[in-house]
């Protein structure tokens, strides 16, 4: 089981360090891999606070070139230099607000993997796509932009479940995860309003290999509770 906390645009370096120290002291279960994904400027303080622990620090995106004239972007070698272990790629908020496409996400994933990072690549349908019966086609298209790699994990995050308090039912998650696994045999995380009180049920489904947690990962008690629920699942 892998539990990843996507902090999105929350927690500067000081708050990140304080949170990571609490996480280090939280006696998390040993059978669960735990990852946090702070904003770029907080990565280094998170890495330092988690040194000598098994908790991984991931970025939230990564550019497809090693260096160049790409204002506002950060590359795999730069992330590696500050001790970052992996990165998210293709989150729906990047697709919705920052023009991320299947092609650009695919290029970022390849560059991150080639640069020695682990990758959690995000896929998932919008509410309109689900209502039009396009969920499977969207997943096939998004996953089709990726190739198998032993360091690749996919997160299924239905867009309508992100930050809304609505979650996919465990059956919906299971079905989407089976589709993804039929295309690429990689671990698949569920994301979208995962909370301490619904984590065990979602994580209990056989095709659910962990969770990508947004809002509930910002609070130490709720994040630790989700990690403990993963241990029992
Ligand atoms: P929430 O858990 O806040 O719905 O966010 C999910 C998400 O987008 C994780 O990447």
Q: What is the mean pLDDT of residues 51-74?
A: 98
pLDDT given for residue 225 in this prediction: 97
pLDDT given for residue 21 in this prediction: 98
Considering the chain, what percentage of its residues have pLDDT values greater than 90?
97
Catalytic, 201? Answer no
| pLDDT, mean over the chain | 97
Residues 92-100: contacts with CB under 8 Å, at least 24 apart: 92/122, 92/124, 92/157, 92/159, 92/162, 93/8, 93/162, 94/61, 96/159
* Identified catalytic residue from 63, 91, 118, 177: 91
pLDDT given for residue 165 in this prediction: 86
pLDDT band at 233 (very low <50, low <70, confident <90, very high): confident
Q: What is the mean pLDDT of residues 157-177?
A: 94
Catalytic, 157? Answer yes
Closest C-alpha to ligand 1, atom 1: 214
pLDDT given for residue 173 in this prediction: 96
Q: What is the mean pLDDT of residues 207-216?
A: 98
| 152 Cα: distance to centroid of ligand 1 (angstroms) | 19
Query: Which residues, in sequence order, are CB contacts of 94 under 8 Å at separation 6+?
Result: 61, 100, 105
Residues at CB less than 6 angstroms from ligand 1: 6, 91, 157, 162-163, 191-194, 212-216
pLDDT given for residue 201 in this prediction: 96
Q: Which residue has the higher pLDDT, 163 or 144?
A: 144
pLDDT tens-digit series, residues 9-39: 999 999 999 999 999 999 899 999 999 999 9
Name the residue of 163, 164, 190 whose CB sits within 8 Å of the most ligand 1 atoms, as the mutation to test its pocket: 163
Is 187 in contact with 210 (CB distance < 8 Å)? yes
pLDDT given for residue 232 in this prediction: 75
Name the residue of 38, 191, 225 whose CB sits within 8 Å of the most ligand 1 atoms, as the mutation to test its pocket: 191
Is 148 in contact with 142 (CB distance < 8 Å)? no
pLDDT band at 209 (very low <50, low <70, confident <90, very high): very high
| 215 Cα: distance to centroid of ligand 1 (angstroms) | 6
């Amino acid at each position: 089981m892998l539990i990843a906390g996507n902090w999105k645009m929350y927690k500067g370096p000081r708050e990140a360090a304080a949170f990571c120290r609490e996480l280090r002291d939280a006696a998390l279960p040993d059978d669960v891999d735990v990852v946090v994904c702070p904003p770029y400027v907080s990565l280094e303080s998170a890495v330092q606070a988690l040194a000598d622990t098994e908790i991984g620090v991931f970025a939230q995106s990564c550019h497809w070139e090693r260096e160049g004239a790409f204002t506002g972007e950060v590359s795999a070698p730069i992330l590696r230099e500050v001790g970052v272990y992996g990165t998210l790629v293709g989150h729906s908020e990047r697709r919705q607000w920052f023009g991320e496409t299947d092609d650009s996400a695919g290029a970022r994933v390849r560059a991150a993997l080639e640069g020695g990072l682990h990758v959690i690549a995000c896929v998932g349908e919008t509410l309109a796509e689900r209502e039009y019966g396009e969920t499977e086609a969207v997943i096939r298209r998004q996953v089709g932009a990726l190739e198998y790699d032993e360091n690749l994990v996919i997160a299924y995050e239905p867009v309508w479940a992100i930050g809304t308090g609505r979650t996919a039912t465990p059956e919906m998650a299971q079905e989407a995860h089976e589709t993804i696994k039929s295309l690429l045999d990689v671990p698949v995380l569920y994301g979208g309003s995962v909370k301490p009180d619904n984590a065990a049920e979602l994580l209990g489904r056989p095709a659910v290999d962990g969770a990508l947690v947004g809002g509930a990962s910002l609070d130490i008690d709720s994040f630790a509770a989700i990690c403990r629920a993963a241990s029992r699942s």
